[in-house]
Amino acid sequence: MNNKILCVDDEESILRGFKLNLRKDFDVHLASNGVEGLEVFEQEKDFAVVLSDMRMPEMDGATMLSEIKKRNHEVVTILLTGHTDFESAVAAVNEGNVFRMLSKPCPPETLIKVLKAGLEQHDLIISKRILLDKTLRGSVDALAQALSTAKPLFFGRAQRVRRMANELAEMMKVPARWRVDVASVFSQLGYLSLPESVSEDVYYKRDLTPEVKELVKQVPSDTQKLISIIPGLEEVDEILQKIDIQHRFEKDSGNGVRLLASILRVALDFDFYEEQGHDRSVIIQTLKSRKNDYDPAVSDSLSNLLVVAEQTFKLEEISLKSLEVGMRLAQELRLEDGFLVASSGADVDRQLIKVIRNYNSCYAESPFPKKIQVTVPVNS
């Protein structure tokens, strides 16, 4: 368990008391005001708990702890306050920036007990993140592989959107980015139930019969049912529900869900327009001009992201035998009879290479075209 704590107070005698009473149980670091507290937090990093006095010059404790939570939402914060600061301290607790509030003066045994509870809370937060990041993502990857076999068009979109949404979330420094990663895959999983005969019409948003339109209307509820049976995906469900225009500019609750929903919407719509054959620069201009539909911060980030992508990958035409893990398809991979095996933009992974090998083993000659266009990393 990480026992690294930061104690912030503008009274030298109290800081000495922290050092004396806490050093046996904790890795203690000290700061004499809020500004210095932020500096120490940035320099030393990896704190599990930050303890701060409320009333300090330049920056009060609640403000400093709020700034710390913005830098690392996983750190546990504790506030020491006198009676005159009580209302401000309660507000900080209610806003979610503070784990516990203690009144001054605080007996050492009480302070140690609360700090240990803070370490346990931090350990719980980290354990949950690891569980979600490792175990859940592995399960989602397995679901995505199932989608690749049953619905390659929608799997290709899921891959492209997932990649773009993750990169946007990272560029914009959104906390707990795993949520948009999972939401990107689930945004397409509901289409598994569609009959294959209508999949392409739905994918390209062509004219649909009333019966097919009714099936498409059920996709969000089918997706919600899939999410509901997996614990811990409540915010993923919220992201998918907030993709609608009317929710996009509501006030964010502080957990980043609204912004992640905006990121996913931009990634989905960009992918649709590009699949329609529109030039990337035209798509970007369209997204930026429709400020009521798209978060300007997201569309601006997308523009910067595409510039980086153009510098990172190059287009090549190669034989299927030369496909390697890490490449991306720049065109659809179809059998000679037109059957779609992999969508444009799909990542070349071991599963796809195995599928190609399996098809080739069933035919005297390769059922695929001899050449295919791919994008490869510039440094490969």
Q: 249 is written with which tokens? A: 């500019």
pLDDT given at position 88: 66
CA distance 281 to 271: 13
Are 153 and 203 contacting, i.e. CB atoms less than 8 angstroms apart?
A: yes
Q: Which domains does the chain have, with CATH numbers?
A: 4-124 (3.40.50.2300), 151-377 (1.10.3210)
Measure the CA–CA gap between 80 and 54, rounded to whole angstroms: 6
pTM summary value:
0.66
Residue 342 confidence (pLDDT): 87
pLDDT score recorded for residue 50: 96
pLDDT at 44: 92
**CA 21, CA 111: separation in Å to the nearest integer?**
9
Which stretches in the chain have pLDDT values below 50? none
Distance CA 157, CA 332 (A): 12
7-63 pLDDT per residue, tens: 999 999 999 999 999 999 999 999 999 999 999 999 999 999 999 998 898 898 888
| Element holding 53 (H helix, E strand) | strand 49-53
User: One-letter amino acid identity for 333?
Assistant: L
For position 146, what pLDDT does the model report? 66
Report the pLDDT value the prediction gives residue 89, as an integer from 0 to 100. 64
Contact 199, 153 (CB under 8 A): yes
Which pair of tokens denotes residue 328? 């991306």
